[in-house]
Amino acid sequence: MSSGILVFCETDGGKLKKTALELLSKAATLGGEVSAVVIGGSVDGAEAGRHGAATVYTVNGDAFGAYSTDAWVKALAAVIAKVSPAVVLGAASPIGKDLFPRLGARIGAGAVTEVTDLSNVGGQVVARRPVYAGKVIATAKVKSAVGLFTVRPNSFAVNPTGGGAASVVAVDAGVSAADLKTQVVEVRKSAQATVDLTEADRIVSGGRSVKSVEGYDSVIRPLAAALRATPGASRAAVDAGYAPHSHQVGQTGKVVNPTLYIAVGISGAIQHLAGMRTSKVIVSINKDPEAPIFQHSSYGIVDDLFTICPALQREFEAVIG
Amino acid sequence: MKVGVLLKQVPASDTIIKINPDKTGVLTADVKWEINPYDEFALEAAIQLKDAGKATGVVVITVGGADAEARVRDALARGATEAIRVDDPALAGSDALGKARALAAAAKSAGVELIFAGKQAIDTDSAAVPGMVAELLGWPQVSVVTGFSVDGGKITAERNAGGGFIEVVSTSVPAVITCDKGLNTPRFANLKGIMAAKKIAIAAKSVADLGLSAGQVGAAGALVEESGLELPPPRPSGKIIQGATPEAKVKELVRLLRDEAKVI
């Protein structure tokens, strides 16, 4: 009989990532025992326990260097077979997106991806997720014994429950180098690498009105830096060459879910809204009072971005320090 | 080597979406359909291999009714050479795994050795089907690819690994590759292509034609059950910040972000 919740936790330098803490915090409210699994990394049982996990399962070995679909699917399937959870949660991160659908096909478990809310309805986990560019919210549940869910970063608050240290249990998943059909031969840091947009808690995005690469680099990037935010861009700005595609927020770019989203010189085309409409607080700066983005904003300033942004940057520097 | 392309038709991103009365789906009567934008990168990647003499044919594979034919025809006009449309009443209510079973079986029947797919479809944004197809076929997958080459069956792909990292991944055919923006610039169909595409028959296949049973697809085989659609809650109306000077507006915004929204 499957029971409890297993949280697939990503780590960074031996620390649980914020997405993992969000998922553990949410899992603790859904009912049932919470356990965690860390693949290809070390973990601090105290930190996992403080966020509600009773046990952390770890899988390591020679095959667990860079992320690979083959090693991770086999490892997570092995831990699921051992723990028999009713629910497995992971982040809708680059790894989670790659891993969970294939895992679902491997073990015959329903997978619901890109979830923004989870609740316990009569003992069953029910997921809500935006579809059709966020114009519609779909509700879904899983009929198989195990349900797999990937959750967009920043969907849930981090809430330490104050539990004691989790016990750490190493699992041998029997994964060897022979299982790997893909090899990472090189890893490059892209020129303007920052916090991944999809996981960013604060984002400052620039649109076509920044007018040039110089405009983007001299207005958007320093404003983002002052707020400790990640710089983003609209499709129009990317297509015009003002910012790289890796910065694009929207339907053919990244879907983001930050606490604070500042749209600078962005009109608010549906393709952009599709990527950021779940942001908790949206601020728009645009000199066109009719820009559609204002209808989706918590706060708006109707003014020239080249005047407002440097002033806002100074104010953030003073307040945030 | 024949190359397959998984293709989905989706509502154009500027389409107004209306939910049907029983809240189980959307009204499609007024929907303008287009090829999923990420599938266009997949199609272009396949056609480029054909143009370079590395692929002997490009097979477009879709799950959909007769209304999907126009999108398949567009793909043929751009340079695909064959098309399979899996169409069966038994597919109604399929989840991602059910659709993946149909697509994987169709790919196998067409004898393709390499599959390109969009990294996700912009209607459901699940990004689930390609990885499931790869698993069902037992092939490696490389997802969110922005650079690709294949030489003598050896694949080198660049993928966006998140956090500003680009991974260069090596694998070999057969494989499933999911495509991101930046991989290429999709072409439009030209008149010659449109005329040539008219002569190509689109093979409509049933679930039984592909060796699947009705219970493996559709609502009967679905492990995920969508229990309803609703409109998102309206955002509370926002505030336009007034002020005599830009500095006054900025100070008021920062005050609201700190004291009212409590986000800084």
Q: How many domains does chain B have?
A: 2
Residue spans of beta strands (DSSP E) within A65-191: 87-91, 110-115, 117-121, 124-131, 136-142, 147-151, 167-170, 183-189
Residue A191's pLDDT is 63
State yes or no: cis peptide before B174, omega within 30 of 0: yes
B132 interfacial to chain A (CB closer than 8 Å): yes
Share of chain A above pLDDT 90, in %: 86
B186 falls within a domain:
yes
> Mind listing the pLDDT tens digit for each residue in A16-58?
999 999 999 999 999 899 999 999 998 989 999 999 999 999 9
Residue B36's pLDDT is 97
Where do the domains of chain A lie, and which CATH numbers do they carry?
5-179 (3.40.50.620), 197-320 (3.40.50.1220)
The verdict on B257 and B187 lying in the same domain is no
B24 falls within a domain:
yes
In angstroms, the separation between the Cα of residue B210 and the nearest Cα of chain A is 19
**Cβ–Cβ of A136/B236 closer than 8 Å?**
no
A46 interfacial to chain B (CB closer than 8 Å): no
B228 falls within a domain:
no
What residues contact residue B53 under an 8 Å CB cut-off, 6+ apart?
A: none
- What band does A193 get if pLDDT is binned at 50, 70 and 90? low
What range defines the domain where residue B159 resides? Answer: 2-221
The verdict on B36 and B153 lying in the same domain is yes
Phi, then psi, of A119 in degrees rounded to 5: -145, 160
The verdict on B216 and B243 lying in the same domain is no
The verdict on B263 and B156 lying in the same domain is no
Beta pairing partners, B4: B59, B115
Residue B41's pLDDT is 98
The verdict on B258 and B133 lying in the same domain is no
> Mind listing the pLDDT tens digit for each residue in A123-137?
899 999 999 988 899
Closest in B26, B132, B172 to A105, CB measured: B132
Tokens of A58: 């770890």
**Cβ–Cβ of A298/B169 closer than 8 Å?**
no
What average pLDDT score do residues B152-174 get? 93
Q: Amino acid identity of A289?
A: P
B226 falls within a domain:
no
The verdict on B264 and B184 lying in the same domain is no
For helices B246-255 and A305-320, give the axis angle rounded to 10 degrees.
40
The verdict on B48 and B72 lying in the same domain is yes
Residues in B closer than 8 angstroms to A109, CB to CB, are 223
B229 falls within a domain:
no
> Mind listing the pLDDT tens digit for each residue in B228-256?
999 988 888 889 999 999 999 999 999 99
Residue B235's pLDDT is 81
Residue B29's pLDDT is 87
- What band does A252 get if pLDDT is binned at 50, 70 and 90? confident
* CATH at residue B146: 3.40.50.620
A287 interfacial to chain B (CB closer than 8 Å): no
The verdict on B54 and B137 lying in the same domain is yes
Share of chain B above pLDDT 90, in %: 90
- What band does A192 get if pLDDT is binned at 50, 70 and 90? low
- What band does A190 get if pLDDT is binned at 50, 70 and 90? confident
Closest to A12 (Cα-Cα) out of A61, A49, A50, A47: A47
B234 interfacial to chain A (CB closer than 8 Å): no
Nearest chain A residue to B165 by CA distance is A189
B227 falls within a domain:
no
Cα angle: A38, vertex B95, A271; to 5 degrees: 80
What average pLDDT score do residues A180-202 get? 84
d(Cα A38, Cα A47) in Å, to the nearest integer? Answer: 13
Contact call for residues B229 and B19 (beta carbons, < 8 A): yes
B231 interfacial to chain A (CB closer than 8 Å): yes
Residue B161's pLDDT is 87
The verdict on B117 and B170 lying in the same domain is yes
The verdict on B156 and B261 lying in the same domain is no
B71 falls within a domain:
yes
Residue A96 carries which DSSP code? H
Question: From the centroid of its chain, how far is CA B16?
Answer: 20
**Cβ–Cβ of B231/A111 closer than 8 Å?**
no
Mean pLDDT of all residues in chain B?
95
> Mind listing the pLDDT tens digit for each residue in A292-308?
999 999 999 999 999 99
Beta pairing partners, B58: B3
Cα angle: A211, vertex B122, A91; to 5 degrees: 95
Tokens of B174: 């057969």
The verdict on B210 and B254 lying in the same domain is no
Closest to B77 (Cα-Cα) out of B202, B203, B192: B192
Residue A199's pLDDT is 87
The verdict on B238 and B128 lying in the same domain is no
How many beta-carbon pairs below 8 A join chains A and B? 258
Residue B89's pLDDT is 96
